[in-house]
Amino acid sequence: MKILHLETSSKNCSVAISDGEELLCLCEEVSENYKQSENLHTFVEWALEGAEIKLQDLDAVCLGKGPGSYTGLRIGAAAAKGFCFGLNIPLVSVESMHSMVEPFFNEKFEFIIPLIDARRMEVYAAVYNKTGEMISNTEALILAENSFETFKDKKTLFVGDGAAKTKEILLNSGGFEDSDFKAQIYPSAQFLIKKAVEKFNNKDFEDIAYFEPFYLKDFQGIKAKKRVIN
């Protein structure tokens, strides 16, 4: 099965083509200016050329559904729906958080926590264990000194552009080390592939007409023991 994978939820505009779980081609670029509207369809063309297939050869489209940039997600969803409607092929979606943590499964860390920068001291966060199971659903959090207390002194890795400001707070509170944070990690289409194939085989398809990205607009605050950092 040949699947087009689109990931537009962050600064990384990312497009991949796979045949089953085999990556055929990847085109992506991280830009501070969020260039999805400029680059997405060009990257799709380049990826198809690199994979040596035509648009009509696709069996499905997979979209990284967020959370993340509202505009980026809208652009990705519109493109994915357009391809699916035009080619009469199914749409599958995978949380963008998953593509951030997949490279770190089965490593030395017991927990992997993807963090997407939202605004001010807010992040989107989820928790995965080392086998890839999501043990805490994605939610929006306001960072505070007592954030992620249950993971202190445990083998925990924080990944994503939200890890930078999280690091500033958590290192001061103790229980974490500098090496526990990797901020230069963004959702990537190449790490949607395994989940997309699994969903395709299970016929876990989206309703194309009514599908909406996972915006996660509402925020939940974590009350600090001493103070909340805004």
Q: Is the pLDDT at 84 greater than 70, yes or no?
A: yes
Beta strands in the chain (DSSP E): 2-7, 12-19, 22-30, 60-64, 91-94, 111-117, 122-129, 134-142, 156-159, 181-182, 220-221
CATH architecture, domain 2-96+187-201: 2-Layer Sandwich (3.30)
pLDDT mean over 133-146: 92
Matching fold, domains 2-96+187-201 and 98-185: yes
The span from the CA of 150 to the CA of 136, in Å, is 12
For tokens 């990797």, name the residue.
182
Give me the residue spans of the domains in the chain. 2-96+187-201, 98-185
Lowest pLDDT segment from 65-69, 79-83, 96-100, 102-106: 102-106
What are 173's two structure tokens? 């509170």
**Residue 229: DSSP 8-state:** -
User: Sign of torsion, CA 65 133 141 164?
Assistant: negative
Q: Give the β-pairing of 134-142 and 156-159.
A: unpaired
CATH assignment of 98-185, given 3.10.129.10, 3.30.70.100, 3.30.420.40, 1.10.287.4070?
A: 3.30.420.40
pLDDT mean over 160-182: 90
What are 194's two structure tokens? 């395994």
CA-only gyration radius of the chain, Å = 18
pLDDT mean over 100-112: 89
